[in-house]
Structure 1
């Protein structure tokens, strides 16, 4: 005898072996928020250029903040099966800390599907822009630890990541 735990889980993004966009037509639009973070680890040369303000391309942190905001709104263009949703608010913090550049994005929507991918995309695009702005100082810059910190709303409920040392 087999029970529900023995059943093969339904694949939401595949049907009959083919990729598909999940139909959210019948889902109610609800308020949703997601916060993600990521780090850009800087070798000494890149950190020195950033701290001294001598980077020839300009201020990487300001450019990264703007790029991350733009990235949050373009997520469906980049993530193949992601629904285009209205981003109703986005905040990006890009700060130089002892470990490196910390990027935190909080994205909000009222939609029938979540906003986690928009927050993760905002962080990723911001991090790539830090790299681009500082690559002349060092190619050894590393983008790391991109993760979801929290989400609210939706059928799956709220989520908060375990805190860990930065």
Structure 2
């Protein structure tokens, strides 16, 4: 990871999601975030699923074709989580890297499932009472030359 530095015009992101439209924004913001499985945790006593990832700053680099681009550490927590199921993800493989492609919700006002779809076919499904998500940038940003490429 490159050292953190001041980047002109960067404003740390802080979002909360309480409905499907809000979660669509969270999904767009977290697209192509990468995390170590060791930085992901389910805290059943707190009914919280939390993660820390390296977020690609799409709001700065979406329309750029050449770098430098920007990444930042982001903290995310999903509250009101009843249980967690995974497919093709081993939560005990702490050094494994996961790449978030999307965050979606299926259900109604009385609860449902928030699904984190990962590159390579992995899925993390959170059974929730409600959509209750907080996303906050937690570091200074850093420059990177690569932009996620979904064509590759």
Please identify which structure carries the higher helix content.
1
Higher Cα radius of gyration: 1
Would the TM-score normalized by the shorter structure come out above 0.5?
no
TM-score, scaled to structure 2: 0.30
